[in-house]
Amino acid sequence: MLKIGISACFMYPDQERPVFGPKTLTYLENDMARYLTKIGVLPVLIPDIEDSLLHPLIDEMDGFVFQGGTDLAPEAYNEKPIGRWKGDPIRDKYELKLFDLALASKKPILAICRGMQLMNVYFGGTLYQDTDTQLEEVLTHRDADAYDFLYHDIQFTADKILEKIYKDDPNHRINSVHHQSVKALGKGLEILAESPNDGIIEAIGYTKAPEGWVMGVQWHPEFSDTLKETVINADTLYEFFLSQVRSLKSDQ
């Protein structure tokens, strides 16, 4: 059984909530849970726990997925908030530590949406806090009403891993549910895909690991069933990630 460690989303104390009002909740979004769960694959939500318990848990995982969710706090990349987008510094601290441990483990990493932004910040990159207001002539990349029905074209970087694994896919479109995006690319990272209409970076890879071993995508493959064949096949990406995980397991 492959064990895939998943970074947690946080929901903080809220006395208006009918259950667990005074408590912090850590959770896995259900479409993500369905996307990651395959025969022989066990997703494991990694809680925010002390290092003495966290480190042995990391050792037990075979790969890692960093899921989407709330914004990164601008302070994580040495900026001040420009508006209402304050982010989540508590989750940032937890996930940056988790990413550090995952990277040190030399096991495959797939970072999704916020996860890709976190990956970029981890390597010293920065973000547009709000793409719509900080860039001109940019596509709408997030619509609260359309949500995972919103999509646009994608262009894979020639001769890089995503172009290779999607060479037989007739679609060149992805869903889009993000208002923040990569501004300055982090050290040791390369662009794997862009939005051809406005140049927004849609996928990145870490160049100091084997090809595709540490990769981030800005779209939500776990939401792809909403649009079905309109967008690229989400299973192609996950099966590639699992092939990397299996290759490591077979060498042990």
Pick from 131, 213, 143, 211: nearest CA to 177: 143
Which residues are identified as catalytic?
113, 220, 222
Torsions phi, psi for 202 (to 5 deg)? -110, -10
Q: How far apart are CA 107 and CA 62, in angstroms?
A: 6
* Residue found by looking up tokens 């989400």 in the block: 234
User: What size, in residues, is the chain?
Assistant: 252
Q: Which residues pair with 46 in a beta bridge?
A: 7
Indicate the pairing of strand 201-206 with strand 109-112.
unpaired
Own/partner contacts of 45-49, CB < 8 Å, gap of 24 or more, are 45/6, 45/8, 46/5, 46/6, 46/7, 46/8, 46/98, 47/8, 48/8, 48/10, 48/94
Determine the Cα–Cα distance for residues 26 and 23; give it in Å rounded to an integer: 10
